[in-house]
Chain A
């Protein structure tokens, strides 16, 4: 299984940008990079995903390194509601396979 490495925890101040790194040196050519987050007492929720090019949506931006061995989730202005565990996941392109979650990064947002 392709694996990802993330810092255990990060801290940010409210209304400041946050850069959450993820290393995936064994990524294969058909693996998509997905980010999910899990707010307290909730199931994970989709944030963003991409393959090679940088991606933007209303929640965040995803910057993917040229060699695809790392990526960064960018929250442009952190709010208290963004405090969550963020998971970087490689989606294996095998029939019937699902997300392989690591322990993720616990993001704390300080007021």
Chain B
């Protein structure tokens, strides 16, 4: 069984650019969530995709957008990058219906984004 994988591992961009981060969910999982983790803080929920549709969003502006594909892999897109977007971006997958309190989330190792 393959775990959650993310690419790239590290990325350096400049302010104003756009970035796409990728996530492959664990086999059998149909739900993907994205989190942003600033240095020294806990992860902050960005949004979640369930069966290719966004079904929950945290307090992030619309320039943070995403996609989920039929194989349940996912992308996180960030437009008009700002310095404060520098962070570790984590993807987590889970199975079953979103909203359940039972579903363990399996996290990937993250993508470290640096915005200069």
Interface residues of chain A, those whose CB is within 8 Å of chain B, are: 30-32, 41-46, 49, 51, 85, 87, 91, 93-104
Contact = CB atoms under 8 A, between A and B. Distances in A.
Contacts of B61: none
A93 B99 contact: yes
B17 interface: no
B45 A44 contact: no
B42 A87 contact: yes
A43 B101 contact: no
Contacts of A87: 42
A101 B42 contact: yes
Interface size class on chain B is 20 to 34
B90 A100 contact: no
Given A43-B92, A44-B90, A102-B42, A97 B56 contact: yes
Contact of B109 (A42, A85, A94): A42
Contacts of B33: 98
Contacts of B106: 46
Interface in B15-47: 33, 35, 40-45
B59 to A, nearest CB: 11
Contact of A43 (B41, B45, B107): B107
Given A32-B102, A44-B92, A99-B45, 20 more contacts: A30-B101, A32-B101, A41-B109, A43-B92, A43-B107, A43-B108, A43-B109, A44-B90, A45-B107, A49-B104, A51-B101, A91-B101, A93-B99, A94-B99, A96-B56, A97-B99, A98-B35, A101-B44, A103-B41, A103-B42
